[in-house]
Amino acid sequence: DARVTQTPRHKVTEMGQEVTMRCQPILGHNTVFWYRQTMMQGLELLAYFRNRAPLDDSGMPKDRFSAEMPDATLATLKIQPSEPRDSAVYFCASGLVAFGNQPQYFGPGTRLLVL
């Protein structure tokens, strides 16, 4: 049963600290997405990659957020320095295409609380 995995599942940190979230996409999927979900804004696309190359990161605050894919089995999202307004659930998703007629498969999310 292929699944997207994310670590950690929960993270509590203090303002100013670095946060790193990791995602392992489904084997064979060449498109990886990072989303952020809050009660007020709902789901927002932060960035996505195809074949490990960043295609769009316009949804990310670039001064503090960075996303990378060191290899096909690992995607990372870093926040440095973190702020209380970054508190949200961060989802990774993978798929065979970007926004085409194939579904995206979501991981369970990382619930981040910045104090």
Partner 1 sequence: KQEVTQIPAALSVPEGENLVLNCSFTDSAIYNLQWFRQDPGKGLTSLLLIQSSQREQTSGRLNASLDKSSGRSTLYIAASQPGDSATYLCAVASTGAGNNRKLIWGLGTSLAVNP
Per CB under 8 A, residues contacting partner 1 are 4, 42-45, 55-56, 91, 93, 98-109, 111
Euclidean distance between CA atoms 52 and 14, whole angstroms: 31
Q: How far is the CB of 93 from partner 1 (least distance, A)?
A: 8
Pairing of strands 110-114, 10-13: parallel
Euclidean distance between CA atoms 2 and 105, whole angstroms: 10
Quick one: 15 or 51, whose CB is closer to partner 1? 51
Quick one: 17 or 102, whose CB is closer to partner 1? 102
Q: How far is the CB of 6 from partner 1 (least distance, A)?
A: 8
Residue 15, beta-bridge partner list: none
Quick one: 45 or 72, whose CB is closer to partner 1? 45
